[in-house]
Structure 1
């Protein structure tokens, strides 16, 4: 026998489960007028913030001013054939006499047919080769990057090898290898 009260409360329970509590970084961004969306925290409990490509540089500049002075990792991934590409940023607030570094993750979802996003190289120089790798493997174009070119694949390689809809060529001819 099913309890009627349980069935009646099911939509309310789903809504409560879907609400993501704002963390300290998101609260600070909201207080200072920066447009963003919250995602569920990652498996370590680190805040995840979703931002549109247009607001990436202003938001990252604000986070840098707020103390997030270290870009631990920048990367990308593919959500699947026909779906979006994601560029992500793992930021850390590094300071003296800090027992536990504060962290935040930023994700930018991009259309696969025109994946343009501003470069954060001018905020964190560590983004240089990391953005180049994301470009090389996924075809995400980081506008304003000083040297956006392939870093792992040969310069004449066709396609983006880590996209889930990538079709490997039957062969790759080495030119000038003899």
Structure 2
């Protein structure tokens, strides 16, 4: 029993160290498909109520007053929107980030907002989940969105509103 307990503790320590190393590698790496507006990657450690720890890297952060925006960015150079798999990955992060409690930055508790930023060098202008219907229609028309693109964006906006995160879709090189 003591050996099993020791082996479990060793495994937990080993796997946490590997996860921290992966987080550090991601923190210093700019992915080829990333198009970030700032160089503000940040490390996030999520601790659950059982003491489990999960190590993530958020693509960008921005402070607005005492609120921190945790921004997950997805970019496409050749299409109006990032791939559906990239968007799904971003949505998974939004689920995590929008359900955080007790968020601290530099040791101080802060309010937070999760933001999914979808960018493309093919887009003209930008919208967000807070945009008015007329602005959405103008954006879709200006960018020649197909009906399936429009449906996807409308579903993303609905998802964002239901789950308390923000979606931004805009031009970026």
Q: Flag whether TM exceeds 0.5 (same fold).
A: no
Give 1 or 2: higher helix fraction: 2
Q: TM-score, normalised by structure 1?
A: 0.31
Q: TM-score, normalised by structure 2?
A: 0.31
Give 1 or 2: higher strand fraction: 2
